[in-house]
């Protein structure tokens, strides 16, 4: 870490672990116990415990939202541009919490964890979890930290789904919600992409029914490559890669990597294999498939959102075709029909779905103004 980065960062942070000994009864009907949640905190909780913000991570994210785990770390947390002193989620004003989800593979209980009943990894004996289950576990963490009410719960993509579940399951536990680049229910197209990714993993002979010692590298890398395509826009891919050849001035006339975009996707796939568990990918994408705030209301969005009480800022991006702006607008219309105080912004961007991680200037100003208004309301 260079000195300039250290000045702008929360600096060195240490992951913490909270154990829910009694576990949880999950939506699938099974009990998962005990449960460990890996989490990180930044800033100081105010005397009245009224400055706490929960940040939710996306599918491949973790609790390490900002800072560095050691002075030797070359890469900071996944939302370093937004979390820290003087930044959007200002750690000099707010107490920031980020927790790795159950089902994950970055310190929280998931398929790669040891099953206390067998002394071996859960593997496919791990029960199916939902977005609601993830939030119920986080609520226990909230109580453990003695936080009475979140000032805000914010997150993008799958993180935005957790934001919505918080607002519906625990409407009195948050002042505001910021769901970003997300959906109230994913489309059949998104379910299809998730299905193909899981099939790629389970078709890899190394997967071995989920009981692998070594990662099913090929299958997991293909799943990641497929998903990564959905995170980008056609315009961003054209500008970044075009039809550039990677290694020569002419085609190879075989099936090796000719184009820059092919090499890029292979690189993304292999990097992912080094840090993520294949079984976790199966479980988390299934949780995303099952997420639907209207599943008990026959598709009626307003009824699906009627338990929400908090102020909301909903953000989408013009080039996001994974969770397109119309899905956010549908959500906003349901909120308005219920009389909620909701603001909506569709940010112009060419980055596609990944814009929520890349448009930090525009998104940062938007969120900062929203949070400032919350502070004004408290006075």
Residue tagged active-site, from 81, 157, 176, 183: 157
Residue tagged active-site, from 277, 350, 353, 354: 353
Cβ atoms 56, 65 nearer than 8 A:
no
Residue tagged active-site, from 190, 320, 350, 354: 320
For CA atoms 359, 14, 7, 90, the dihedral sign is: positive
Distance CA 184, CA 328 (A): 8
Helix (H) or strand (E) holding 20: strand 16-20
Q: Which two tokens stand for residue 297?
A: 């209301």
Q: Where are the alpha helices (DSSP H) in the chain?
A: 3-8, 131-144, 158-169, 188-202, 217-231, 234-240, 260-275, 278-290, 301-304, 325-337, 355-358, 360-378
Distance CA 24, CA 46 (A): 29
The DSSP call for residue 173 is G
352: left (phi over 0), alpha (psi -120 to 50) or beta: left
Confirm whether 353 is a catalytic residue: yes
Confirm whether 349 is a catalytic residue: no
Distance CA 132, CA 164 (A): 10
**Residue 379 burial (CB < 10 Å; 0-12/13-18/19+)?**
exposed
Pairing of strands 24-25, 31-32: antiparallel
Residue 283: CB partners within 8 Å, gap ≥ 6?
Answer: 103, 110, 111, 126, 128, 129
Confirm whether 157 is a catalytic residue: yes
**Residue 338 burial (CB < 10 Å; 0-12/13-18/19+)?**
middle
Q: Strand, coil or helix: what is 245?
A: strand
Q: Which residues are annotated as catalytic?
A: 157, 320, 353
């Amino acid at each position: 870490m260079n000195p300039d980065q250290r000045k702008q960062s929360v600096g060195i942070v240490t992951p913490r672990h909270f154990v829910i000994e009694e576990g949880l009864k999950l939506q699938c009907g099974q009990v998962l116990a005990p449960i460990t949640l890996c989490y990180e905190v930044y800033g100081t909780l105010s005397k009245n415990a009224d400055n706490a913000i929960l940040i939710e991570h996306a599918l491949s994210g973790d609790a390490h939202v900002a800072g560095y785990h050691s002075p030797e770390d070359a890469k900071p947390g996944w939302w370093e541009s937004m979390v820290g002193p003087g930044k959007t989620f200002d750690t000099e004003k707010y107490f920031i919490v980020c927790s790795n989800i159950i089902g994950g593979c970055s310190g929280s209980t998931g398929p790669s964890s040891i099953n206390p009943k067998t002394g071996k990894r859960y593997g496919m004996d791990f029960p199916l979890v939902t977005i609601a289950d993830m939030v119920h576990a986080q609520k226990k963490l909230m109580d453990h930290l003695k936080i009475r009410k979140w000032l805000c719960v914010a997150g993008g993509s799958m993180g935005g789904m957790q934001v919505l579940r918080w607002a519906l399951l625990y409407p009195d536990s948050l002042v505001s919600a910021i769901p970003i680049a997300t959906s109230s229910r994913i489309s059949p197209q998104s379910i299809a992409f998730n299905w193909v990714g899981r099939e790629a993993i389970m078709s890899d002979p190394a997967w071995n029914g989920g009981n692998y010692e070594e990662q099913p590298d090929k299958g997991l890398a293909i799943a990641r490559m497929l998903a990564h395509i959905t995170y980008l826009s056609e315009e961003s891919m054209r500008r970044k890669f075009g039809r550039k050849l990677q290694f020569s001035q002419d085609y190879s006339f075989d099936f090796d990597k000719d184009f820059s975009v092919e090499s890029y996707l292979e690189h993304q796939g292999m990097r992912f294999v080094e840090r993520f568990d294949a079984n976790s990918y199966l479980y988390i994408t299934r949780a995303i498939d099952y997420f639907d705030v209207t599943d008990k209301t026959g598709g009626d969005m307003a009824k699906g959102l009627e338990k929400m009480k908090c102020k909301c800022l909903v953000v989408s991006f013009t080039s996001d075709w994974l969770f397109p702006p119309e899905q956010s607008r549908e959500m906003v219309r349901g909120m308005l029909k219920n009389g909620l105080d909701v603001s909506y912004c569709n940010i112009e961007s060419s980055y596609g779905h990944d814009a929520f991680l890349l448009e930090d200037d525009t998104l940062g100003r938007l969120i900062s103004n929203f949070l400032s208004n919350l502070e004004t309301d408290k006075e």
